[in-house]
Amino acid sequence: MTSFLPRDVVAALRVAQDNAARKRSRLRIDVDGRTYPVLRLWDNGFALADDAPHLRGLVELYDGGRMLRRCLIVAAEEDSGEMRYEFKRLSEMLDEQPVDFERRQDAPVAYLTGPDIG
């Protein structure tokens, strides 16, 4: 059995795979009000589709509607239909505001006052 496919069929398959990866991914990069779907993410970088511009600077990484990280990036290389970027700095986003004091475990949650409260 031969595994030869015409070049135009291979190119069409690659475009279809890229489109499916874009739709499947919840991860996206937001920069200056524009969003780009993330195809792959690893420890020190990520990849976008090759039609994305050569981004550089501060971007925000989202998973759906939740911001995961604020990143300082630089374009690394273009390879196999992907534009790869490397992180220069990552800032994790927290669910709550950081505090500069120690929170006691037995501290009250709220102060309730009023005529109905004894």
| C-alpha distances out from residue 113 to 107, 108, 117, Å | 17, 13, 6
The yes-or-no verdict on residue 51 having pLDDT over 80 is no
Is residue 53 within 8 Å of residue 35, measured between CB atoms?
A: no
Q: What is the mean pLDDT of the chain?
A: 81
Q: What is the pLDDT of residue 87?
A: 92
Classify residue 32: in a domain, yes or no.
yes
pLDDT in tens, 68-77: 888 899 988 8
Number of domains in the chain: 1
The one-letter code for the residue type at 110 is A
Classify residue 46: in a domain, yes or no.
yes
**Secondary structure of the chain: what % helix, strand, coil (to 5)?**
15, 45, 40
pTM to 2 decimal places:
0.60
Q: What is the pLDDT of residue 55?
A: 86
pLDDT in tens, 87-115: 999 887 766 777 787 878 888 877 777 77
Q: What is the pLDDT of residue 2?
A: 47
Classify residue 17: in a domain, yes or no.
no
Is residue 87 within 8 Å of residue 29, measured between CB atoms?
A: no
> Which domain CATH number covers 64?
2.40.10.430
Classify residue 50: in a domain, yes or no.
yes
Classify residue 73: in a domain, yes or no.
yes
Classify residue 49: in a domain, yes or no.
yes
Burial of 9 (0-12, 13-18, 19+ CB in 10 A): exposed
Classify residue 3: in a domain, yes or no.
no
Classify residue 99: in a domain, yes or no.
no
SS3 of residue 76 by DSSP: strand
| C-alpha distances out from residue 93 to 47, 90, 97, 105, Å | 21, 10, 10, 24
Domain that holds residue 83: 26-92
